[in-house]
């Protein structure tokens, strides 16, 4: 697989998003581990998770623990960069809440360290701005974790251009990634993508197919992707990821998956070349 850069680490150009393996509708553990192992076999070296990827209130960090187990049982597990996040919570009733207090983020990081079974988290990201806490205080906690060696690299998620610049300033120029929603159905993060390209910061699109519930309708909802897919004899999802990769070398999509066959299809996007006319049709 072609590689791209997050900070000073080279990773596969397609990552794996772990959320579908731990929230509502999740598969059994055996299939989840098979999915992660299939990703590694296909060349994936970057996996994204979060402490909030769980279903019930008493299983915070379910996805982190699952990923740690899968990596420990694969020969390439030690070569994977795992990114996790803190500051977003799920009470267990299907809703999401926020806690960007520095003290919470530091406790959350310590708990994630234990679940992942590592001495330092490869990439730790502030999950979502908390309106009740000044943004610089939340990111300041991430900077302290970086200084303390608890995390190796720092990122942010769900941030607008002003917050990207603010976070990079608070981190002393050490911001390495921005994880925002971005897909054919959600293009409003293009300014953030462009800023990341300008600054040399990795841009990690989450829900690149438009979200878990929309993924199966990608080909019909976005006719251009279906037409290009038919011409190449591949899935619209593969075309979608190839289109994203063509937007900028800082883009590293992290499609969520819960089946071995879907992550294999996603990884194959790195081998799909789209010509100028196709990219123009898709809106590049």
**Which whole number is the average pLDDT over 169-187?**
96
Give the Cα separation of 117 and 93 in Å (integer): 28
Contact 71, 27 (CB under 8 A): no
On the question of pLDDT at 239 being above 80, the answer is yes
Whats the size of the chain, residue-wise? Answer: 284
Give the Cα separation of 249 and 21 in Å (integer): 28
Residues with a catalytic annotation lie at 53
Tens digit of each residue's pLDDT (9 = 90 or more) over 86-107: 999 988 888 889 999 999 999 9
CB atoms closer than 10 angstroms to residue 72: 10
Give the Cα separation of 34 and 165 in Å (integer): 39
Asked which of 4-8, 20-24, 40-44, 259-263 is least confident by mean pLDDT, the reply is 20-24
Task: Tell me the CA end-to-end span of the chain in Å, nearest whole number.
Answer: 22
On the question of pLDDT at 186 being above 60, the answer is yes
CB atoms closer than 10 angstroms to residue 273: 9
pLDDT band at 284 (very low <50, low <70, confident <90, very high): low
On the question of pLDDT at 116 being above 50, the answer is yes
């Amino acid at each position: 697989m072609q590689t791209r850069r997050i900070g000073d680490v080279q990773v596969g150009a397609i990552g794996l998003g772990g959320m579908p393996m731990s929230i509502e509708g999740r598969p059994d553990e055996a299939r989840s581990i098979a999915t992660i192992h299939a990703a590694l076999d296909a060349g994936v070296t970057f996996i994204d998770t979060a402490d909030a990827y769980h279903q019930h209130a008493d299983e915070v960090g379910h996805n982190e623990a699952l990923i740690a187990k899968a990596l420990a049982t694969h020969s390439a597990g030690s070569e994977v960069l795992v990114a996790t996040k803190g500051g977003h919570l799920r009470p267990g009733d299907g809703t999401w809440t926020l806690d960007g207090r520095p003290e919470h983020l530091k406790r959350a990081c310590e708990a994630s360290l234990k679940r992942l079974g590592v001495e330092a988290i490869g990439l730790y990201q502030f999950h979502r701005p908390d309106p009740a806490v000044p943004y610089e205080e939340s990111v300041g906690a991430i900077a302290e974790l970086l200084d303390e060696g608890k995390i190796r690299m720092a990122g942010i998620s769900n941030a607008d251009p002003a917050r990207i610049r603010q976070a990079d300033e608070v981190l002393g120029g050490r911001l390495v990634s921005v994880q925002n929603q971005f897909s054919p159905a959600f293009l409003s993060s293009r300014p953030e993508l462009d800023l990341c390209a300008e600054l040399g910061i990795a841009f990690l699109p989450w829900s690149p197919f438009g979200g878990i519930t929309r993924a199966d309708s990608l080909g019909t909802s976005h006719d251009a992707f279906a037409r290009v897919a038919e011409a190449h004899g591949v899935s619209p999802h593969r075309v979608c990821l190839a289109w994203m990769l063509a937007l900028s070398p800082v883009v590293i999509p992290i499609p969520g998956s819960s089946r071995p066959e879907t992550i294999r299809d996603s990884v194959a996007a790195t081998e799909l070349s789209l010509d100028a006319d196709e990219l123009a049709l898709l809106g590049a």
